[in-house]
Amino acid sequence: MPQARNALLSVGVMAILVGVIWIGQGTGYFPYPRSSFMINDMAWAYYGIALAVLGLVAVGVSRRIGL
């Protein structure tokens, strides 16, 4: 079970990080790379919120598996 816990925790943390980047690009706070189609497109900010929330759920579930 430790492998499943570690895998779920890793996927959750990665999802949170990618979600935060998407939020930053979608809102225009992180305009990198300059040629990105995601910059100032609020749809990507909403996708990032959803992905970050799923990542938080995955981290929470991985912590429950360890108990």
Report, as an integer, the average pLDDT of 3-31: 95
Domain segments of the chain: what residues? 2-65
* Longest pairwise C-alpha distance within the chain: 45
Per-residue pLDDT tens digits for 16-27: 999 999 999 999
Is residue 33 scored above 80 in pLDDT? yes
CA dihedral 8, 44, 46, 40 (to 10 degrees): 140
Per-residue pLDDT tens digits for 49-66: 999 999 999 999 999 986
Report, as an integer, the average pLDDT of 29-56: 94
Mean pLDDT score of the chain:
94
